[in-house]
């Protein structure tokens, strides 16, 4: 592996194409907040403001302002977003809405626990960057909301009825594992250590299936796997890989050597299971028994899945030194960089068909903004630096 070449590529993509694209196009200078529904060239095609995407932008610009590349203007972008979101984004109960209209009028109820999650992340990063207590206060409020909603994440907006099978979902626990790390790092607090450790152990003990060597997306409340339903057999390789690098990061910071091998084994298993052996690239959704998947987009190839796979592989290779992770990284990196970057306008396409053809020319929307790509590039640079230092 030529670490220097990968590093140069990642740094160039981050600083010359990804950040400038969003810095130029996402800011709503009239009302505040951000445009995330951006066409291929960065023009706005819809002005609705989705809370996950808004707070992720706050988090990324605040985080980048503290990086080795930090610029004050990035911190200013994060600050302005925070002001708009705190002013307009919360219900009377203190939960963050799912979406706002351009001027800040609420448009979708706060049914998603992850609106509070990303509010906590963004606010915490701003506190670390500035030391201003208003950011810490907001981070702690949103974190309290997130933890408080774990048992009933959709609150009164839950659509399921009594006949619906109750299951644990990977997303809530993997996000808490990472969110706890962010809060500890940014706020300098151990207040959430217990919840973080519990989430980490829950992911590894409940969602990892040693028979199939994959991370399941849903498990029954009693910890068993349901192989008789599509929901129970559902595998999201990107989620599994993302959760594993969260856990590797947690393990190293907390001296949990017992987690290193299981997490790396899961990464190897997910790569082997999730890779399209005919066309290359990682599937979006899969059925663990290879039965028909009920989601029509299952065979698609999404940008964030490959972003998270590459981060996970760098972690696993650095920690273990095993060639299998280096080879998977090189193979995945080659496929990813061949298909996603837009050389003309910058940034990356997000959605490809199974063969790797672009299906949606957008660069941002309801589920894509300034988050997975820049976080992957920044994390990737950090991991490559550590690998290079170890080898020199």
208: containing domain: 171-361
In the chain, the number of structural domains is: 2
d(CA 146, CA 114): 7
Q: Read off φ and ψ for residue 186, nearest 5 degrees.
A: -80, -35
Q: Please indicate, yes or no, whether residues 118 and 177 belong to a single structural domain of this protein.
A: no
**CB atoms inside a 10 Å sphere around CB 157:** 12
- For 336-346, the pLDDT digits (tens) are 999 999 999 99
Q: How confident is the model at residue 364 (pLDDT cuts 50, 70, 90)?
A: very high
Question: Would you say residue 391 has pLDDT above 90?
Answer: no
Assign residue 209 the CATH number of its domain.
Answer: 1.50.10.10
Last residue of a domain, one of 132, 159, 186: 159
Runs of H (alpha helix) within 89-234 = 113-130, 133-148, 170-187, 193-202, 230-233
d(CA 55, CA 38): 17
Residue 357 lies in a domain: yes
Give the pLDDT confidence score for residue 164 in this predicted structure: 85
Q: Please indicate, yes or no, whether residues 179 and 146 belong to a single structural domain of this protein.
A: no
Residue 304 lies in a domain: yes
- For 116-141, the pLDDT digits (tens) are 999 999 999 999 999 999 999 999 99
Q: How confident is the model at residue 80 (pLDDT cuts 50, 70, 90)?
A: very high
Instruction: Give the pLDDT mean for 41-55.
Output: 98
Q: Please indicate, yes or no, whether residues 84 and 200 belong to a single structural domain of this protein.
A: no
- For 163-216, the pLDDT digits (tens) are 888 899 999 999 999 999 999 999 999 999 999 999 999 999 999 999 999 999
For the chain, percent of residues with pLDDT exceeding 70: 100
Place of tokens 């894509």: 368
Give the pLDDT confidence score for residue 52 in this predicted structure: 96
């Amino acid at each position: 592996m030529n670490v220097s070449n990968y590093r140069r590529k990642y740094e160039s993509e981050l600083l010359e194409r990804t950040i400038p694209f969003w810095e130029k196009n996402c800011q709503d200078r009239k009302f505040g907040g951000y445009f995330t529904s951006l066409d291929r060239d960065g023009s706005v095609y819809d002005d609705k403001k989705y809370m996950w995407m808004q707070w992720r932008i706050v988090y990324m610009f605040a985080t980048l302002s503290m990086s080795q590349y930090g610029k004050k203007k990035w911190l200013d972008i994060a600050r302005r977003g925070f002001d708009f979101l705190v002013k307009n984004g919360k219900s009377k109960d203190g939960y963050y809405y799912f979406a706002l209209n351009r001027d800040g009028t609420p448009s979708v109820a706060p049914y998603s626990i992850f609106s509070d999650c990303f509010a906590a992340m963004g606010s915490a990063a701003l506190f670390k960057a500035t030391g201003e207590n208003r950011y810490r206060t907001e981070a702690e409020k949103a974190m309290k909301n997130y933890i408080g909603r774990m048992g009933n994440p959709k609150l009164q907006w839950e659509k399921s009825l009594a006949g619906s099978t109750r299951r644990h979902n990977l997303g809530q626990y993997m996000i808490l594992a990472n969110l706890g790390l962010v809060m500890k790092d940014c706020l300098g607090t151990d207040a959430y250590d217990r919840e973080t450790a519990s989430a980490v152990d829950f992911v590894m003990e409940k969602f990892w299936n040693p028979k199939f060597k994959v991370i399941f997306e849903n498990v029954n409340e009693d910890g068993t796997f349901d192989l008789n339903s599509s929901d129970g057999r559902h595998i999201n390789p990107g989620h599994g890989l993302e959760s594993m690098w969260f856990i590797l990061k947690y393990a190293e910071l907390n001296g949990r050597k017992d987690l290193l091998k299981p997490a790396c084994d899961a990464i190897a298993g997910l790569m082997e299971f999730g890779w399209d052996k005919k066309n290359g690239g990682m599937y979006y959704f899969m059925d663990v028994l290879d039965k028909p998947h009920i989601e029509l987009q299952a065979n698609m190839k999404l940008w964030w899945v490959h972003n998270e796979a590459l981060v996970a592989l760098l972690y696993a290779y650095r920690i273990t030194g095993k060639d299998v992770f280096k080879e998977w990284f090189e193979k995945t990196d080659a496929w990813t960089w061949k298909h996603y970057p837009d050389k003309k306008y910058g940034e990356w396409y997000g959605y490809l068909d199974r063969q790797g053809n672009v299906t949606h020319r957008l660069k941002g929307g309801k589920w894509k903004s300034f988050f997975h790509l820049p976080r992957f590039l920044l994390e990737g640079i950090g991991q490559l630096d550590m690998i290079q230092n170890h080898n020199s």
